Amino acid sequence: MKPKTAIFVLITLALLGLGFYQGMYAAPTEQTMGDIQRIFYYHVPSAWTAFLLFFVNFVASVMYLIWKSPRTDAWAVASAEVGVVFCTVVLITGPLWAKPVWGIWWTWDARLTSTLVLWLIYVSYLVMRRFSEGQQTATLAAALAVFGFLDVPIVYMSIRWWRTQHPQPVIGGGANSGLAPEMWPPLLFNWLAFSCLAALVVWMRYSLARAEQELEHQYAVRSLEGRDEMETQLKRAR
């Protein structure tokens, strides 16, 4: 590990620890929900991080369609994969909270359904990448990413008209909404920690994607030069 990466890993770990302490001990217990509300400090930062990563995926995909640079494709795949992971965390922590508070695991409410549809779209993106081969994968995936992103506002509108049960936006909602001031630090620390964690994993996945691209390139060059055949013949001759 390079020193810079090591420092970043340490910072991320420290932030995660601080966020955990803030969320589990420092934050006040919520009046009606009790300790269950503390899952909020993981649920909401995961959601913000996932949406941010999907946005990164869209930007990288558009950039790929314009410049055809393998780097942007590596960014696209890395952000989509990590985004799906964080979105999965959102979809798991949501029902864990909902069961004791709402009395049900799942409901077809606007935000829940939108998040689920978003998750489905990006999983289909990853499935497509898996089933496609060669250079075209990047282009096809970028086209799909653009379609998926265009769908997001339509999904959100359609489902908001269909149902709404999620707690009304706590942050910037109405007059009586709003977090207790003591709840802000744990939320923001966790968000910072999750963003750093996401950045770290995306960076690792990006490096891996670049290595894979390099490997593929080497294979292509080799087969063009016919070097593989020469080597096997040489081995046989020995």
Q: Summarize as ranges the residues that interact with another protein (CB under 8 A).
A: 65, 117, 120-121, 123-124, 127-128, 131-133, 135-136, 139-140, 142-144, 146-148, 150-151, 154-155, 157-159, 161-162
| Nearest residue (CB) to another protein, 14 versus 127 | 127
Give the nearest distance from C-beta 94 to another protein in angstroms: 18
Distance of closest approach, residue 218 Cβ to another protein, in angstroms: 19
Between the CA of residue 197 and those of 21, 58, 138, 231, what are the distances in Å? 17, 20, 26, 44
**Min dist. Cβ of residue 207 to another protein (A):** 25
Determine how many CB atoms are found less than 10 A away from the CB of residue 205: 18
* CA nearest to 45, candidates 228, 191, 230, 195: 191
Residue carrying structure tokens 């942007």:
72
Instruction: Indicate the residue among 224 and 237 with the shorter CB distance to another protein.
Output: 224
> Smallest distance from the beta carbon of 118 to another protein, in angstroms?
9
CB of 96 to another protein, least distance (A): 24
Q: For residue 105, give the DSSP letter.
A: S
The CA–CA distances, whole Å, from 131 to 5, 141, 160, 199, 202 equal: 32, 11, 33, 26, 22
Closer residue to another protein, CB minimum distance, 6 or 140: 140
Closest CB 146 distance from another protein, rounded Å = 7
How many residues are present in the chain?
238
Based on CB atoms, which residue is closest to another protein, 13 or 117?
117
- State how far the alpha carbon of 191 is from the alpha carbons of 28, 50, 112, in Å: 18, 11, 20
Neighbours of 77 (CB within 10 A): 24
In the bound state with another protein, the residue whose beta carbon lies nearer, of 65 and 188, is: 65
Count other Cβ atoms within 10 Å, centred on residue 185. Answer: 15
DSSP states along 75-124: HHHHHHHHHHHHHHHHHHHHHHHHHHHHSSS----HHHHHHHHHHHHHHH
Judged by CB, which is closer to another protein: 144, or 202?
144
**Structure tokens given for 199:** 């950045």
